[in-house]
Amino acid sequence: MDKPRGAGFQPAEIPAVFRQEDLTTQPESLKALVEEVTAGKLSPTSEWCREALQIRAVNPHVNRQVEFAGWRLDVLRQVVTPAAWKAYTDLGYPTPVFL
């Protein structure tokens, strides 16, 4: 019998973390993200990254409070590890109120 997909998968120690506000304002952060997610197979030029950041947003975010309840909170609490939440707060984001 074949092993189920993902069986034996061992996550990396701690993956690179990219802040959204850096990715949308700093060309070198965008470049690093592309290189990270493609395992170095793509390396955009700094010029390309600068130009990409000048493109108008297709779906700009609305300023509103996101609320999680019920099963969504249960999933977040089970899937997102305490170490991930610590990394999140270490980047300067507030600790979510549901923790």
Structural domain total, the chain: 2
77 and 95 together in one domain:
yes
DSSP class of 50? H
Banded pLDDT at 1 (limits 50, 70, 90):
very low
Q: What is the average per-residue pLDDT within 12-31?
A: 87
- Global model pTM greater than 0.85: no
Banded pLDDT at 12 (limits 50, 70, 90):
low
46 and 82 together in one domain:
no
Q: What is the average per-residue pLDDT within 30-50?
A: 92
Residue 1 belongs to a domain:
no
23 and 54 together in one domain:
yes
Closest CA to 25 of 1, 53, 44: 53
Residue 25 belongs to a domain:
yes
Residue 49 belongs to a domain:
yes
Which residue would you say has higher pLDDT here, 92 or 2?
A: 92
Q: What is the average per-residue pLDDT within 14-31?
A: 90
69 and 56 together in one domain:
no
State the Cα–Cα distance between residues 32 and 38, nearest whole angstrom. Answer: 10
- CB 99 within 8 Å of CB 74: no
Residue 3 belongs to a domain:
no
